[in-house]
Structure 1
Amino acid sequence: MSTATSSSDLIGLVLGTLRTERASTARFTLSAPWSLRSDGVEGLLIRVSLGEPYWIEADGAEPVLIQPGDIVLLPQGAPHIVRSARELAPLPFSGLLAQHMSGAHGDHPITFRHGGEGGHGAALTELFSLHLWMPQHRGQSLLSWLPPLIVLRAAEVATTRTLALATQALVDETLTQVPGWQLVTARMADLLLVHVLRAHLQSGAAQAQGWLAGIGDKAIGKALAQMHANPELPWSVASLSRVSHQSRSVFSERFVQRMGTTPMRYLADVRMGIASQQFEQGQADVARVAQDVGYASEKAFSRAFERWAGQTPSQYLKLRTNGAQIRRHKG
C-alpha cells in the first residue's frame, strides 16, 4: 500500500473512476451580436474558442469574459448563457441544436452559424465544444464536488493554448466522422480533464470546498489518496486519521470543512463510482464487484449501491445492457 501519492497522481486516480462513456463534438460560428442560453446538459462540456472574446454566465453566477485560447470546463453541464455582449437577451440553444442535429443527440457532430449578418469584417467567435457523458447518479458523481465553471487561461498557463489548438483540430477532424471519432474524442477529453483540473489546483483558484481543495490539503490529500488507491481495504475514520497523521476528531472536522461531506460518505461514493465503472465495462458478477470495492457481503453492497444509484445492481446492469443494445442498433 503506497502512501506517496502526489496531488497530480490523486487527480489521475479520481478521474480513473470517471472514464468517458461516450462523446460528441460541435462547432458554432457566431457573428456579433449573439446570445444563447443552455438549460444544461447531461454530462460535462469542454469548450475552446477562436476569434472574438465572449461572455459566459454559469448557473446564475457573475459573467466571466473568455478570451481566445482559454479552456472552459462545465463539470456538471450546468445551465449557462454565452453571448458576445453582456446586455443581450439570450435565445435558447435547444432550438438551434434541433434544427441542425441529425439523429439522436450525440450520434453526429453539430455545426451551425448564428448571430448578426456576418458580412465582411463581422466580429466572429468560433466555439469548439466537446460534450462528454459520464456515469452520474442522483448528483453523487465526483464531478458534483467541482465548481460549476472552471476557466483555464491561456495567458496564465503556457500549455493551455497548445491544448486548445489540439481540441480545435480534434473537433474539425470529427466533422468528417472518420471511424472511431467518438472514441478518440472521449480519450482526448479524459486527458484534457486531467490537465485542466491539475492546472486549476496549482493556480490556487480551487474553491474552499470539494476534492480539489482536499487534494491541496496535504493531510486530507493523504487520506484521499488511500481511499482512491485502495478502496477495498476496511477503512474507518480512525484508520484514515492515522494515514493523515491527525487525531480522529481533528481529521473528521478538517475533512468535512475541506470536502463538504464526511470521510465515510466520500469513501462510499468512491466505491460506488468504481463499482458502476466495472458494471459499465461488462463485469456482471456482483459478488466480485462487491469484494473489489471493500464489501464482504454482496447483500450489504447491493443495499449501498441502491442508496447511491437509486437502482439495485441487477437493475443497473439490465438498464446499461439495454442502453448499449439500443446504441448498437442505432449505429
Structure 2
Amino acid sequence: MGTSSGDLISLVLGTLRTDRAVTARFSLTAPWALRSEGVEGLLMRVCTGEPYWIQMDGLDAVHVQPGDIVMLPQGGPHVAAAEIGLDTVPFRSLLQRHMRGAHGDHPITFAHGGGGAATELFSLHLWMPQHQGVSLLSWLPPLIVLRAAEIATTRTLALATQAMVDETIEQRPGWQLSTARMADLLLVHVLREHLHHGPAGAQGWLNGVRDKAIGKALAQMHAHPELPWSVESLARVSHQSRSVFSERFVELMGTTPLRYLTSVRMGIARQQFLKGADDVWRVAQGVGYGSEKAFSRAFERWAGQTPSQCIKSRTIGAQIRRPEG
C-alpha cells in the first residue's frame, strides 16, 4: 500500500477517459448573450478576440480574457455574453439550427450577434463514462477559470484547445478518436493546473489532495477500495487521531470519510457493470463487500437503481443527450 497522495493525482485523473467529445466554434459579434440550461457532461472553452462574461446560476459573473481557459465540470446552467444584462438567446436553439446529423457526428459552427466587436469561442463538450471520475468531477467547483496572465502554461493549453477545435472542423479521417484522446490530455492538464494554482480554503477533492495527511487516506481508498477500511484505520494511514482526522476530512472534503469511500466503491462498481460485468457478487467482493445484499442496497442508495437495472441499462443504448455547447 505504497500509493502516495502525489500518486493519487495520476491514479484518479488516469481514470478520466472521454466517452465522446463534441467540438464547436462560435463566431460572435457584440452585442450577444447566450443562455445554456446545462448539459450532461463537462464543458471547456477558450476565446480569441474580445473578452466575454460568463455567469453560472447563483454565482457572480466572471470576465474571461483571451487565452484564459474556462471549465464547467458539471456542465451547469450559465450565461455567456459580451456584456452583463443583455437579453439572452438559448444556446440550444442556435445549435439545433446549425447541427448536422446526430449530436457529435460533426463539429458545430455558427455565427451570431449584432455585428460589433468579435469574439471567437472554441468549445469542447465532453461526456465521461459513469465511473469514479464522475465522482471527482462532482466535487469540483461548478466553474474553473485558469488565467493566462497568472499561470504560464494556460496560454499553451488554450492554443492547443483552439488548434484541436480548428482541426476537427476539417473532419480529416480519424478526427473523432483523435479529439477524444486529445481532450483527455487537455482535461488532465487543466485539472492539474487547477490543483496547483486554484484557491485554497474551499471544500473539495483537490483541497483534500493538497493536505498531506488527508491525501494519504484518499490515495489508499482509491488504490485499495476492497480493504475493510474504517475511520480508525484511515486515521492511522494519515498518522492522525480518529477525531482530528474525521474533523479535518469533513472540513476539506465536505463529506465524511466513509461516505467518500462508498462513492469511490460504487463508482468503480458502476464502471464494471457498464463495461460488461454481470456477476454482482464478484463485483461486490472487488469493492470490499462481504454480502451481495448489503452491496446491492448501498448501490441502489448511491446510484438510484439496482445493480441489475444498471446492467440492463447498458443494453438499452446510450441515453438521450442534450445538444448544447
List per-residue Cα deviations over 1:19-49 (Å, max 9, x = no partner): 2222211111101111111111111101111
Match of 1:231 in 2: 225
**Aligned mate of 1:175, from 169, 172, 177:** 169
Match of 2:182 in 1: 188
Equivalent runs, 1:303-322 vs 2, <5 Å: 303-322=297-316
Match of 1:100 in 2: 98
Equivalent runs, 1:296-307 vs 2, <5 Å: 296-307=290-301
**Aligned mate of 2:143, from 140, 149, 157:** 149
What is the CA-CA distance between 1:92 and the residue it aligns to?
1.3
- Mark the CA change 1:298 to 1:55 in structure 2 (over 3 Å): closer, same or farther: same
Larger displacement relative to structure 2 (33-42 or 203-212): 203-212
Counterparts of 1:306 and 1:184, CA distance in 2: 36
What is the CA-CA distance between 1:186 and the residue it aligns to?
2.4
Match of 2:13 in 1: 15
Q: Is the 8 A contact 2:5 2:212 kept in 1?
A: no
Match of 1:205 in 2: 199
For 1:55, what is the secondary structure of its paired residue? strand
Q: 2:73 matched to 1:75?
A: yes
Larger displacement relative to structure 2 (92-101 or 293-302): 293-302
For 2:5, what is the secondary structure of its paired residue? coil
Q: Which amino acid aligns with 2:302?
A: W
What is the CA-CA distance between 1:278 and the residue it aligns to?
2.0
Pairwise CA RMSD: 2.1
- Mark the CA change 1:148 to 1:102 in structure 2 (over 3 Å): closer, same or farther: same
Q: Is the 8 A contact 1:11 1:194 kept in 2?
A: no
List per-residue Cα deviations over 1:91-143 (Å, max 9, x = no partner): 211111111112333332211000013xxxx4211111111112469xx7331
Match of 1:49 in 2: 47
- Mark the CA change 1:17 to 1:272 in structure 2 (over 3 Å): closer, same or farther: farther
For 2:225, what is the secondary structure of its paired residue? coil
Gaps of 5+ in 2: none
Equivalent runs, 1:264-283 vs 2, <5 Å: 264-283=258-277
**Aligned mate of 2:120, from 122, 126, 139:** 126
Counterparts of 1:227 and 1:281, CA distance in 2: 22
Q: 2:34 matched to 1:36?
A: yes
Counterparts of 2:314 and 2:174, CA distance in 1: 21
Q: Is the 8 A contact 1:32 1:123 kept in 2?
A: yes
Gaps of 5+ in 1: none
Match of 1:115 in 2: 113
Counterparts of 1:241 and 1:27, CA distance in 2: 49
The count of residues paired between Structure 1 and Structure 2 equals: 319
User: Sequence identity of aligned pairs in percent?
Assistant: 76
Q: Is the 8 A contact 2:37 2:77 kept in 1?
A: yes
Counterparts of 1:246 and 1:326, CA distance in 2: 46
Instruction: State the 4+ residue runs in structure 1 displaced beyond 6 angstroms.
Output: none
For 1:141, what is the secondary structure of its paired residue? helix
TM-score, L = length of structure 1: 0.90
Counterparts of 1:158 and 1:191, CA distance in 2: 17
